Amino acid sequence: MPTIEAARAGTQCIADPATMRREHPAMLEHQRDETVRGGIRGNKASLKACIACHASPATGSVAKSESNFCVSCHSYAAVRIDCFGCHATRPPATAMSKQP
Amino acid sequence: MSDAERGAERRDNQPDSASRRGFLGVAAVAMGGTLLAGGVRLIEVQAATPAAAGANPKVRWGLLIDTDKCASGCTDCVTACNTENGLATPQRATDAQWIRKIEIKEIKTERSASLPVMCQHCAEPPCVDVCPTGASFKRADGIVLVDRHTCIGCRYCVMACPYQARSFVHEPLTEQKPEVPRGKGCVESCTLCVHRIDQGQQNTACAEACTKAGHNAISFGNLNDPNSEISRRARAAATTQLRADLRLDLGVRYQGL
């Protein structure tokens, strides 16, 4: 089983781990259409919010090294994601301390 | 006209005949009605603008560029755009460019003008017409965007755009800005700083930089709001759309061309 890095201390995910593991692709896909096409920002599910809590303290990223949050599980499951071809893998410089 | 002024006008007209007084009264009431209706509409537009609600169909975002104020050789808007959106300074002709400065000259009179050209945010965008996947789209508030999730990089839109406003990303990118995702294999263009607009910040990076440089050549605003600065400027002076013959109803207007 992959070793999954813990989220930043003191943060609370939007749903329990079982739901997140199963549903996060659908949540993000739904959110991305609302955000890009509808201009609705600040939805409950958001890739930026995922990254804000799950970026590795060591690399500052969710996808830079094999042990980082997104990559650890996706490489284990052999699922290639292309989110990070375009999306930043690290939180904005100012958002490390606060929830976006 | 304020209430005090209206009162003063009625007092001034006291010696007039009764019928004239009656007419003035009706006129004053009618004017009050229009003012009230105008006020109500203004509030509606403003109330519907804030961020969380998403793109507001009552709004039409646009730019007005005063070419008389645009300084030849100044590229502050281009630099600001690159910094805001995480674009590298173009090295090669194929590098992405969302805004560019051009110099034009009337051959007969030798009058020259300097102006920035970016996506004109057409109301009838040819890029949207030709996109085979529906990735090119126009938001409810008039901003023309590329949904990179559906863009297949066919570049049909690049060919369809009369303003050469679109760029294709040829090389893998790293260190994108979190608010401006962009990557290899997709077409992109000026977003009118949509990430700023959605956060309620009503100015684009280019307009901000132009004001900061003291030129004030670019104003950003809501073309549908008669009280916005951009509408006032467009009402006061003659403005043109580039290639107006194409009848694309552009969101970017130029003054002094």
Q: Which residues of A57-72 are buried (b: 16+ CB within 10 A; e: fewer)?
A: eeeebbbbeeebbbbb
Q: Are residues B152 and B179 in the same domain?
A: yes
Would you call B52 and A85 a contact, using CB atoms and an 8 Å cutoff?
A: no
CB within 8 Å of A18: residues ≥ 6 apart: none
Chain A residues with beta carbon closer than 8 angstroms to that of B145: 36
- Whether B137 has its CB under 8 Å from any CB of chain A: the answer is yes
- Whether A13 has its CB under 8 Å from any CB of chain B: the answer is no
Using a 10 angstrom Cβ sphere, with 0-12 exposed, 13-18 middle and 19 or more buried, the burial of residue B167 is buried
Q: Are residues B77 and B123 in the same domain?
A: yes
At residue B52, the pLDDT reads 58
Q: Are residues B215 and B106 in the same domain?
A: yes
Q: Are residues B80 and B197 in the same domain?
A: yes
Q: Are residues B180 and B149 in the same domain?
A: yes
Residue A42's pLDDT band, with cuts at 50, 70 and 90, is: confident
At residue A1, the pLDDT reads 84
Would you call B175 and A88 a contact, using CB atoms and an 8 Å cutoff?
A: yes
Q: Where are the domains of chain A?
A: 17-86
Mean pLDDT for A39-65 is 92
Chain B residues with beta carbon closer than 8 angstroms to that of A32: 149
Would you call B140 and A39 a contact, using CB atoms and an 8 Å cutoff?
A: yes
At residue A92, the pLDDT reads 87
Record the tokens describing residue B171, joined without a space. 């090389």
Total of domains in chain B: 2
CB contact at 8 A, B181 and A88: yes
The answer to whether the complex's ipTM is over 0.85 is yes
Q: Are residues B27 and B88 in the same domain?
A: no
Q: Are residues B114 and B71 in the same domain?
A: yes
Would you call A85 and B183 a contact, using CB atoms and an 8 Å cutoff?
A: yes
Instruction: List chain B residues with pLDDT less than 50.
Output: 1-18, 22, 24-51
Q: How far apart are the first and last CA of chain A?
A: 31
Q: Are residues B133 and B191 in the same domain?
A: yes
Residue A94's pLDDT band, with cuts at 50, 70 and 90, is: low
Average pLDDT for chain A = 89
Q: Are residues B159 and B224 in the same domain?
A: yes
Q: Are residues B133 and B200 in the same domain?
A: yes
At residue B257, the pLDDT reads 87
Interface of A with B in 34-53 (CB under 8 A): 34, 36-42, 48, 51
Query: Which domain covers residue B230, as residue numbers?
Result: 57-255
Q: Are residues B241 and B168 in the same domain?
A: yes
Helices B76-85 and B205-212, axial angle in degrees (round to 10): 140
Residue A97's pLDDT band, with cuts at 50, 70 and 90, is: very low
Residue A93's pLDDT band, with cuts at 50, 70 and 90, is: confident
- Whether B247 has its CB under 8 Å from any CB of chain A: the answer is no
At residue B138, the pLDDT reads 97
- Who wins on pLDDT, A92 or B223? B223
Of B140, B176, B185, the CB nearest to A87: B176
Q: How far apart are CA B231 and CA B224, in angstroms?
A: 8
Closest CA of chain B from A76, distance in Å: 24
Of A33, A42, A95, the CB nearest to B52: A42
Q: Are residues B119 and B230 in the same domain?
A: yes
CB contact at 8 A, B78 and B211: no
CB contact at 8 A, A77 and A68: no
